[in-house]
Amino acid sequence: MRTSALPRAADAIVRVLRWHRRWIAAVAAFVAVLALVGQFQPQRTPTVTVVAAARDLPAGTKLAASDLIRLELGADVVPSGSVGAPDRLAGAVLNGPVTARTPITSATVATGAALASPGFVVMAVPMPSAALADVVKAGSRIDLIASKGPVASNVRVVAAPAPVASGMLTPAERVLLVEVSLDAAGAVAAAVDSGTLTVTVR
């Protein structure tokens, strides 16, 4: 009895499979399609909210809420030092020009010691020549010369802010932020105070 029951059970299973073969085939095909789609579907990269420039902003801009927007960037491309909240940047001043939709980082608005290399300080020096001012950018190298000779050579320009606003009869003056050694800082300051400082661009 037990021996004959096994063939009968197997035969019943075969009949059930035959009756439902279309349904079973459809389910198998659906599962195969899902597996195929999963293989080709791109993996979603986690995103991070960063604050960026709402439009092209010149160097020296004092940031306001209208100057900033929020962007969602892939976590793997977010610049170091990015800021996630616009209110953390309110009132900060840009060290250099920033193009629209460029993330604002802590370095973009850093000041003082945060801008200078170890053993150096950041100073503001006037750029008397408007023609030269147009070619000086952050990262440019210049020489600072007083009436008695050079006071600092191969100086790195940290930022070149926009011209300072002036009256109708007074020409606008460009002020550079430069990185000078502690040893040269006194001589540079004296030349600026005496009005004898000359800037040459390398």
Encode pLDDT of 158-193 as tens digits.
Answer: 877 655 444 444 445 677 888 888 888 888 888 888
Percentage of the chain beyond pLDDT 70 is 66
Q: With left for phi above 0 and alpha for psi between -120 and 50, is residue 57 left, alpha or beta?
A: beta
Tens digits of per-residue pLDDT, 43-80? 667 888 999 999 988 766 788 889 999 988 887 777 77
Domain that holds residue 33: 2-40
pLDDT at 169: 42
Verify that 120 and 184 share a domain, yes or no.
yes
CA distance 128 to 148: 18
175 - beta bridge partners?
Answer: 126
pLDDT at 80: 75
**Coil vs helix vs strand at 150:** strand
Verify that 86 and 61 share a domain, yes or no.
yes
| pTM over the 0.95 mark | no
pLDDT at 166: 46
Sign of CA dihedral 70, 74, 79, 82: positive
Those residues whose C-beta lies under 8 Å from the C-beta of residue 166, and which sit 6 or more positions away, are 172, 173
Verify that 68 and 93 share a domain, yes or no.
yes
Domain count for the chain, please give it: 3
Is the separation of the CB atoms in 39 and 65 below 8 Å? no
Read off the amino acid at residue 192: V
Verify that 97 and 119 share a domain, yes or no.
no
Q: What is the mean pLDDT of residues 110-129?
A: 73
